[in-house]
């Protein structure tokens, strides 16, 4: 499950970066969805103090 979320998260982030150059893709919303998917991964430790 973590591998799937990681893959989709990075894919959405890359599509969001391409969307900033291509006017057809909604880049901010796709990038935020990618960040949300990467936030829910248990494999990457997050430090909430920073």
Overall average pLDDT of the 19-45 stretch? 85
How would residue 33 be classed by pLDDT, with cut points 50, 70 and 90?
A: very high
pTM (2 d.p.): 0.77
Using CA atoms, how far apart are residues 42 and 30, in angstroms rounded to an integer? 21
CA atoms within 13 A on the CB side of 17: 6
Distances in Å between the Cα of 47 and the Cα atoms of 1, 9, 16, 20 are 21, 19, 25, 29
* Domain boundaries, position 6: 2-39
Average pLDDT for residues 27-40, to the nearest whole number? Answer: 89
Q: Is residue 14 part of a domain?
A: yes
Examine residue 48 and state whether it is found in any structural domain, yes or no.
no
Q: Distance between CA 50 and CA 47 in Å, rounded?
A: 6
Q: What pLDDT score does 14 carry?
A: 93
User: Residue 15 falls within a domain, yes or no?
Assistant: yes
Q: Is residue 17 part of a domain?
A: yes
Number of domains in the chain: 1
Please tell me the predicted confidence (pLDDT) of residue 4.
92
Query: CA separation (Å) from 10 to 15, 24, 49, 50?
Result: 9, 20, 24, 22
Residue 22 lies in a domain: yes
């Amino acid at each position: 499950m973590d591998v799937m979320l990681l893959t989709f998260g990075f894919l959405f982030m890359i599509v969001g970066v391409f969307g900033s150059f291509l006017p057809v893709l909604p880049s901010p919303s796709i990038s935020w969805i990618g960040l949300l998917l990467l936030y829910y991964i248990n494999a990457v430790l997050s430090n909430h103090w920073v």
